[in-house]
Structure 1
Amino acid sequence: MMKNWLAAGAVALSVGMSATAAFAQTTTVPGEQVGLATGAPLPEGIYALNTFVYQMRDNPAPVDVGINVPVLVWSTPFVPFGGRVELLVAPPTVFVFGKNRNSAAGVRDISISVGTFVGGIWAFDLGNNFGVSLLGGVYLNDLNGDRGLLQSNAGGLAGGPVLPQLASNTYRAGIAASYTGDGYNLTANLTGNFYDSPGRFGGNNFFGTRGPFVISDSLNLDLTATKKFGKFEIGAIGYGTVNFDTSARSVAFNDRGRFLLGGLIGYDFGVATAQVYVARTVAKSAVSFDSTEISGRLIVPLYSPTPVAAAPSAIMRKY
């Protein structure tokens, strides 16, 4: 199996808790890229990745949150100026799970489609097992992103929109650096999300769910430090997000962000690689939330070009 893996795509972790308040974060999931050597170029081929995050929020939060991020990566044969071009597509989904299932005031389970992410990466092998990459793309929320409203088990409106970030396309830019020598994966990844703010949802203005919403631009940091021992991989991870606009007009009002630390374990099955990582909030702003997050990932190479077989040489026989 290959030593370098690259993923993109994703979705917001935040969920609206009332009609007037939302815990806003970036559309790109903080921590979505930990465990991946995102700074290193992939060998030519096509790869499928799926990352699922389950976020167990501390009480009194009425919900837990799941995020599923399937990604298809084409590492092309094009290497302009020595950097490999890699094309990405991802249609993320958010799942909201109500905790108080036996209460009429509890929240119903829902799912929300995030706008399909399309983008590209320009990845350079700098030699000596160092690599660096640049990423650019967009979540097409104006095309196929959901609004999402929380409803109580009794049928009343419990809060919405769940993800006000999806009122605008999300423009994503990133830079990553990796060291992959001697079985190590030491990677730092910065991801910026930028919005057409204020943003509006289409359709009616029921309960004020159309907007406008002032959406804060944000920055994520994903950190990985793992080591492979044969087919096993183990190490530490950290990730977090920072919101730039925390003014009273912003959906990130008073929420500067949060940071989590944890660990990762992986195993190479030959035909696929699996990873599991767990993290816990260690720092946050006053109105953000504490959570324990369990994530699983599966990486499957679908295609790689086969070497051209050498033409057989003529065989001369004498009788």
Structure 2
Amino acid sequence: MKYAAAGAFALCATTTAAFAGTTAQPGETAGLAMGAPLPEGVYFVNTLDWGVRKLPGEDIKVGVDIPVIAWSTPWSFLGTNLQLLVATPMIHADVPGGVNDDYGFYNPFTAAKLAFDLGGGFGVSYLSGIYWNAGDKFIRVRATTWRQDFAVSYTGDGWNLTANLLWGITFDTDKRVGGKTSNGFNLDLTATKTFGKWEIGAVGFGSTEYDRVKGDRKTESFAVGPLVGYNFGPVILQAYLTREVYAKNTTGNGGPRSDRKDTRFWSRIIIPLWTPATPAAPLVTKY
């Protein structure tokens, strides 16, 4: 199994304003070769992150855990690899004053993805999926979001050079939140190199909103940081630490308190549950 392709489906989300109208968490696909085809099989991926945005005398803390099941099917469409994905994000939000100081299920996500091998280590992909208007009422985005990913990757010679643009369009917004939610873009970037079983490099990601409610200020941010990974064969682990270098209106609608920067630690585990080369064991064994 190619490492660069194996993790190309981790998904996650969170509640803070900096995550824009994609509903997806900026940085959720950082470190992954999203443009590369995924070998046939069924995979489990768990992405966990915890971040702190410091304010004078108080902190905003958000933790996200994303269990994912991905099936890279044997089917193809016009020469592309077809993948089916489902994710059930969970979030813990600790906000000063007890607002949204809760743990619960975020909007569940289902998607299909097409990835095409261009040759020479290059690949491109398109993902289309839905964040459903369901989950914990204090945690979820109270809207249905159509998410589209457009990714390109180079995975030759042990490199993973990837850019993934996420576009979120919200609709079916809960009237209790004003009948409208913003749309937005995320851009996740990866530049890593493998040395034997080790992977070392850097990631970056940003987000922006558009089509905001009148009088609401657009949220923008960009973060960078180092990444390290290890391939235990077949289990793969990754970790990266990111810090926002730019933040605007991430904690409110203006003023110095609105531009406080987030520091976040991420970890990811990728486990192949089944591949054609590793058939599942029988449920009953005779002795």
User: What range is the shorter-chain TM-score in?
Assistant: 0.7 to 0.9
Structure-1 separation of matches of 2:69 and 2:35:
18
- How far off is 1:10 after superposition? 2.3
Q: Does residue 1:64 correspond to 2:61, yes or no? A: yes
Give the secondary structure class of the aligned counterpart of 1:12: coil
Contact map agreement 2:18 2:219 (CA 8 A) in 1 = no
Q: How many residues align?
A: 267
Q: Alpha-carbon deviation of 1:65?
A: 0.3
Aligned 8 A contact 2:210 2:218 in 1: no
Which one of 36, 43, 48 corresponds to residue 44 of structure 2? 48
Which residue in 1 is equivalent to 2:117? 125
CA distance in 1, matches of 2:207, 2:137: 22
Contact 2:130 2:145 in 1 (8 A): yes
Secondary structure of the structure 1 residue equivalent to 2:78: helix
Q: Choose which of 213, 228, 238 in structure 2 pairs with 1:265.
A: 228
SS at match of 1:37: coil
Counterpart contact for 2:54–2:60, Cα < 8 Å: no
State whether residues 18 and 221 of structure 2, in contact with CA within 8 Å, keep that contact through their aligned partners in structure 1.
no
Q: SS of the counterpart of 1:182?
A: helix
Give the Å deviation of 1:2. Answer: 2.3
Contact 1:48 1:300 in 2 (8 A): yes
Q: Does 1:303 align with 2:277?
A: no
Residue 246 (structure 1) shift: 3.8
SS in 2 for 1:58: strand
TM norm structure 1: 0.78
| 2:93/2:101 contact within 8 Å kept | yes
In 2, Cα distance between the equivalents of 1:78 and 1:27?
29
What SS does the corresponding residue of 2:55 show, helix, strand or coil? coil
Q: Which runs of 5+ in 2 are unaligned?
A: 250-257, 280-287
Higher relative strand content: 2
Determine which of 58, 76, 79 is the counterpart of 1:79: 76
Q: What is the TM-score normalised by the length of structure 2?
A: 0.87
1:78-121 Cα deviation digits (max 9, x unpaired): 1121101000000001111357xxxxx56684113112101110
- Structure 2 CA distance for aligned equivalents of residues 167 and 33 of structure 1: 23
- Which residue does 2:136 correspond to in 1? 146
Residue ranges of structure 1 left out of the alignment (5+ in a row): 15-21, 100-104, 149-161, 202-209, 309-319
Note if contact 1:267-1:275 (Cα within 8 Å) is conserved in structure 2. Answer: yes
CA RMSD of aligned residues (A): 2.1
Q: Paired residue for 1:234?
A: 200
Structure with greater Cα Rg: 1
Q: For the residues of structure 2 that align with 1:136 and 1:267, how far apart are their CA atoms?
A: 30
Match of 1:176 in 2: 151
* Cα drift, residue 186 of structure 1: 0.3
Q: Which residue of 2 aligns with 1:314?
A: none
Give the drift of 1:50. 0.6
Matched, 1:37 2:39: no
